[in-house]
Every structure is written in structure tokens, then in C-alpha cells.
Amino acid sequence: MAVFHFTVKPSTPPGVGASCLRKTFPHHGCRACDGVCPVGAIDCDAAGARIDDEKCLRCGNCLFVCPTDAPENLQPLSRKYRGNYLVAPFSPTITPQELLLWHHQHAIRGVEMDVEAHPAWALAVAALNITLRELNETQWQIIPPGARAVDVSRRHWLRVAEENARAARVVAGREARRQASYGKSGWSLALDSSRCVACGACARACPEAALRFTPAALAWESASCTGCTSCEMVCFADAISIVAQRAEHHQQQFPLIQKTCRSCGHTFSSFTPDADRCHICQRHSFAMREA
């Protein structure tokens, strides 16, 4: 039996762009897109993520979870709503992240559906309501479908608009998710200053510039963080981690001290007042940097 596609196949197959974390960092463990694909069309390995064109349903779930907007040649599904409720027809699956964008971009506040007929949607709404509670936003309701004087499914296939129902789609992407955060970040940074050598690799790896090194401090901006954990991947000292935690947007400052290395004479940054050697010289017993 042929796999049902939600949209007409475009001439350009879906793919994964260069911003994929697995392409930037071969050992990165990100499987966000694979985790929401309902048909296993996405394969993740050290070479990056790949989308199987034959399996892909064009459901667009991956668009709502990728921290770097790597999926290409896909778009969110067009859905129907009446008033502030989403209505049939329903796709087999949906992500809470997409529902949050419907909440923010179209002021949708619930779904009109039979819960037993659409269990995946019921779970997504439940997960959404947990997030909305953390954001102090109105939670969604699920109401049973009203009586219909006509066969709605037949009208859908004939492309006849249901009375009082409108069709739209949300704008996906990390910037859209950032705008729908209602001033709260989903991430927090934990730094072990006793292990951190202030090499600056985490700031250079951050695709959102959420981390910044200055001579005076290491600064982190929660509003810019997408939880990609690139900073964790490049920290050889295992001093930094990104934790899933809902909180008001905030900045963190970790003061640095400028020191001069007694081995190589270079200026370096440190969190420790009594540090007298840069992190490079500390890792080499025979002053290799001097050579």
C-alpha cells in the first residue's frame, strides 16, 4: 500500500541543511527530528541527519523541534480552525511545539475532536498545557465535535470549505518559537568555574551568540539559547551544561580575571585569582607553547 503524503510531492526532495548539529559536530547526540518523525523517515549518524524522500509524509513535525532550523524543502501543514478551536481533518500526529505556535500566532485555545479517535493529539494537547501552565497562559480545552448537517469528510475531499471554518498554517522556526516563549526561556546554564579554563570554545561554537566572552566576564543570555548544547560538545573540561528549565529571560555573568602566564608570558583569563599558568601550559609539562 502506498504511503499517504499530506502534500503534493515537490520537485526538490526534503533534506537537512549544513546547520544540522550532527554535521557540525559528528559526535553530537541530537535526535530531535528523528524523535518526532511518525514513520522513521529520518536517519541520524555521524555524517548528519538524512530524510528518506520515499518515506517522508511532509507532516513538518521536524520543523518545530530542530534547534538550528536544519530541515529544508518542508513547510507546516495547513490546518482548519473555527473561532479559536482547531477542527477536522486531523493529521495522525502533531507536536506540542506546533500547538504552542497556533496558540501564539492564531490565538487558538483548543481542539474540537473525539479524543478516542485521535489519541496522539490528546497527548500533544496535554503536553502543551504543561508548557502553558509554566508560561502562565490559558490552557487548551478539548471539546467533542458538534453535530454536522453534512458529511464533513466528503466536503474536505471535494475541497469545499466547511461553514465558518478557515484554513491557515503557522510560521515555524527557532525565531518563531522564541517569540512564542512569552518572556520565558526553556533553558538554563550551569557552569562549574572550578573546571572551566575560559578557553572560549563554547562561545565560538554557539550558533545563537547566547554565550559571549569579554575580558571581564563570560556572559550568557537565556533568551537567545535554543538548547542545542553545542557548548557542551566542545568543552573538553566538561565544565558547562544546558539544563531544561522554564524561567524568566535572564542574563548570567561569570566574572573573569586577566592574568599573565608565568610559563609562556601570554595574557589569559581565569576564574581563579591565584592562577599563574594559562590552560595550554597547564596541559603541557614541558612548556610546548614556548617552543
- pLDDT value at position 288? 56
DSSP 156-190: HHTTPPPTT-EEE----SHHHHHHTTTTEEEEEEE
For residue 89, is the peptide bond before it cis, meaning its omega torsion is within 30 degrees of 0? yes
All three cell numbers of 40 = 522513521
Domain that holds residue 65: 15-72
pLDDT digits (tens, 9 = 90+) for 172-226: 999 999 999 999 999 999 999 989 989 899 999 999 999 998 889 999 999 999 9
Domain closes at, from 178, 212, 241:
178
Domain closes at, from 178, 213, 231:
178
- pLDDT value at position 265? 87
Average pLDDT over residues 273-283: 85
Q: Is position 1 within any domain? A: no
Nearest to 61 by CA among 111, 14, 23, 19: 14
Whole-model pTM?
Answer: 0.84
**CATH (domain of 220):** 3.30.70.20
Domain co-membership, 84 together with 150: yes
Mean of the per-residue pLDDT values of the chain = 88
3-state secondary structure of 92: coil
**Which is more confident, 113 or 1?**
113
- pLDDT value at position 147? 44
Q: What's the rounded Cα separation, in Å, for the pair 127 and 97?
A: 9
All three cell numbers of 139 = 490552557
CA 31 to the chain's CA centroid: 11
The number of distinct structural domains making up the chain is 3
Nearest to 41 by CA among 77, 8, 74: 74
Domain co-membership, 121 together with 194: no
Domain co-membership, 66 together with 152: no
Within a 10 A sphere around the Cβ of 212, how many other Cβ atoms?
14
